[in-house]
Amino acid sequence: MPSIQFDVLGLGNAIVDVISRTDDDFLAAQGLHKGAMTLIDEARAETLYKAMGPATIVSGGSAANTVIGMASLGCNAAFIGKLKADEAGNAFAHDIRSAKVAFSTPFAKDGPASGRCLVLVTPDGQRTMNTFLGACQNLSEADIDEEAIKQSAIVYLEGYLWDPPAAKAALARAAKIARAAERKVALSLSDSFCVDRYRDEFLGLIRSGSVQILFANESELHSLYQTADFDTAASQLRKENILGVVTRSERGSVVLTSGEVLAVPAFPVDQVVDTTGAGDLFAAGFLTGLIKNKSLETCARLGALAAAEIIQHIGARPLTDLGQLAAQNGLVL
């Protein structure tokens, strides 16, 4: 078995977030589904951007946010995702590399511009996302770095990656390599509508033994098992015989295995500014705990702490050293 080079390798859409504050009236006027991620085409992205207020531009992308959070917590991290060599693409590549995450996916030579997500943040801190996938649609099997996957303790897949159709072959290849090398594969369900689009594929991955760790929030879990009842969904997940981690916003998280149900509270915060990336950073903290051989409770507390940092400012990338933050809160890594 090859030696471990990376604690985690994330595969995801390489996205730049364009974040603007707004109000519920604007969401209603634009026909947007609050709290959800909606796929939009380039023309719609232009119209919506024009209607939006002044924006802050920060690198994002769900799995990318997670691996950057893990790097900030002291893990060795890598990322695979597709960009074009435009200003947004160059900014994403700069940001992820300067966060000490290994990233070497070649830029797309042609095709659409780098992907971007128009994020609308309401005064309650909720984010409503509108994604133009752009160059993410060009992720292909050729972009899968076989050696990097073999040498990663955890391979982390975001559910959003099922949206760009050509990426599917790339994902299948990555999962196959990881499985053959006996690496752990983690999947984040990303969004309840995303689960709706790919429910059978996600369940197939779980039930075929391709996925060992599942991250979901409550609505994604409900969507996966098509029930409005949390306990019903939770007991279904426990039967899958994997490690399930469900986040419940201010009510904390629940870790579910076949033998255990562990509820861990959220980390208290003064003010929720922007929830973009809360789930991504929870996963970062949790997986770091696993890498460092911590108890499941400590894993969930690390997740809660990283999520608390991210929701107190604009953008889904940490603004403080999460390793130091963990130490200040008595969580020694």
Cα 29 → chain centroid: 28
| Dihedral angle sign, alpha carbons of residues 313, 316, 317, 320 | positive
Distance in Å, CB of 57 to a copy of itself, minimum: 4
**Binding of residue 288 to a copy of itself (CB under 8 A):** no
**Binding of residue 2 to a copy of itself (CB under 8 A):** no
**Binding of residue 49 to a copy of itself (CB under 8 A):** yes
Question: How far apart (Å, rounded) are the C-alpha atoms in residues 263 and 218?
Answer: 13
Site string for a copy of itself, 169-198 (x = CB under 8 A): ------------------------------
Q: For a copy of itself, which residue of 38, 56, 241, 312 counts as binding (CB under 8 A)?
A: 56
**Binding of residue 42 to a copy of itself (CB under 8 A):** no
**Binding of residue 302 to a copy of itself (CB under 8 A):** no
**Binding of residue 25 to a copy of itself (CB under 8 A):** no
The Cβ of residue 106 has, within 10 Å, a number of other Cβ atoms equal to 10
Distance in Å, CB of 156 to a copy of itself, minimum: 19
Question: How far apart (Å, rounded) are the C-alpha atoms in residues 236 and 118?
Answer: 34
Distance in Å, CB of 129 to a copy of itself, minimum: 18
**Binding of residue 86 to a copy of itself (CB under 8 A):** yes
Alpha helices (H) along 99-166: 146-150
Task: Report residue 228 as tokens.
Answer: 């409005």
Looking up tokens 């098509």, which residue turns up? 226
Contacts of 201 (CB under 8 A, 6+ apart): 162
**Binding of residue 67 to a copy of itself (CB under 8 A):** no
Which phi and psi angles does 60 have, rounded to 5°?
-145, -135
Alpha helices (H) along 181-212: 192-207
**Binding of residue 327 to a copy of itself (CB under 8 A):** no
Binding segment for a copy of itself (CB under 8 A), chosen from 26-34, 52-60, 225-233, 302-310, is: 52-60
Cα 328 → chain centroid: 25
Distance in Å, CB of 139 to a copy of itself, minimum: 22
**Binding of residue 127 to a copy of itself (CB under 8 A):** no
When the beta carbons of 86 and 218 are compared against a copy of itself, the nearer one is 86
Question: How far apart (Å, rounded) are the C-alpha atoms in residues 47 and 112?
Answer: 17
Distance in Å, CB of 44 to a copy of itself, minimum: 16
Task: Report residue 232 as tokens.
Answer: 């019903």
Question: How far apart (Å, rounded) are the C-alpha atoms in residues 42 and 1?
Answer: 44
When the beta carbons of 2 and 123 are compared against a copy of itself, the nearer one is 123
Contacts of 229 (CB under 8 A, 6+ apart): 222
Asked whether the beta carbons of 143 and 105 are under 8 A apart, the reply is yes
When the beta carbons of 78 and 224 are compared against a copy of itself, the nearer one is 78
Binding segment for a copy of itself (CB under 8 A), chosen from 55-63, 239-247, 252-260, 292-300, is: 55-63
When the beta carbons of 49 and 225 are compared against a copy of itself, the nearer one is 49
The binding site for a copy of itself (CB under 8 A) comprises 21, 49-50, 52-59, 68, 86-88, 91, 94-96, 98-99, 313-315, 317, 319
